[in-house]
Amino acid sequence: MGLDIRYPIGMMFTLLGLILLGTGFITGGDAAIYRSSLGININLIWGAVLLIFGLLMWVSAHLGRNK
């Protein structure tokens, strides 16, 4: 048919998730940065969420194409 919209969405969310995960790992030891978020490393958490969502989009696009 054409380009499945799940491929670019999956790519975008996967890339953004990797960037946020990297930021969360690099700044994980600095408590002053996360003082406003009650000491929770929000970059690490949301990076993992976005990475999982992006990978799920890629997998669903790949499985939908092979039918």
Q: What percent of the chain has pLDDT over 70?
A: 96
Average pLDDT, the chain: 89
- Classify each residue of 23-44 as buried b or exposed e, where b means 16 or more C-beta atoms within 10 Å of its C-beta: ebeeeeeeeeebeeeeeebebb
Contact, 52 vs 18, CB < 8 A?
A: no
pLDDT (tens digit per residue) in 10-60:
999 999 999 999 999 998 778 788 888 888 889 999 999 999 999 999 999
Work out the burial of residue 10: count CB atoms within 10 Å of its CB; fewer than 13 is exposed, 13-18 middle, 19 or more buried. Answer: buried
- Name, in order, each residue with C-beta under 8 angstroms of 55's C-beta and a sequence gap of 6 or more: 10, 14
Predicted confidence at residue 1, as pLDDT, reads: 57
In the chain, what are the domain boundaries? Answer: 6-65
